[in-house]
């Protein structure tokens, strides 16, 4: 039985839903799964809205922190103009 390679060993980025749950995410994974730029991700880290930790030279984001940060972004985003509104 061969041991599977980690999903990012080949440089190919895979969506979180396509992998087994992982406790820590790289910045590349956060960038890919949030559809935000490298600069915007680091702006979020500097502002303290996205919590990270250093592991050697790598900066990692706990998956729980990533989900909380995404939810906060969604809640902070105003409704798009013309969006369906249940209040009549």
pLDDT digits (tens, 9 = 90+) for 30-59: 999 999 999 999 999 999 999 999 989 999
What is the pLDDT, as a whole number, of residue 82?
A: 47
| 5 pLDDT above the threshold of 70 | no
CB atoms within 10 A of CB 62: 15
Does 1.10.3470 match the CATH number of domain 18-76? Answer: no
User: Which H or E run contains 32?
Assistant: helix 27-34
Q: Average of pLDDT values for 62-77?
A: 90
Q: What are phi and psi of 66, to 5 degrees?
A: -60, -45
Residue 76 binned pLDDT confidence (cut-offs 50, 70, 90): confident
Q: Is 87 helix (H, G, I), strand (E, B) or coil?
A: coil
pLDDT of residue 2: 54
């Amino acid at each position: 039985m061969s041991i599977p390679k980690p999903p990012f060993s080949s440089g190919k980025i895979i969506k979180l839903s396509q992998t087994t749950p992982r406790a820590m995410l790289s910045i590349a994974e956060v960038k890919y799964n949030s559809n935000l730029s490298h600069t915007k991700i680091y702006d979020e880290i500097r502002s303290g809205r996205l919590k990270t930790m250093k592991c050697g030279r790598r900066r990692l984001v706990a998956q729980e922190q990533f989900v909380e940060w995404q939810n906060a972004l969604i809640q902070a985003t105003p409704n798009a103009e013309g969006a369906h509104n249940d209040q009549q």
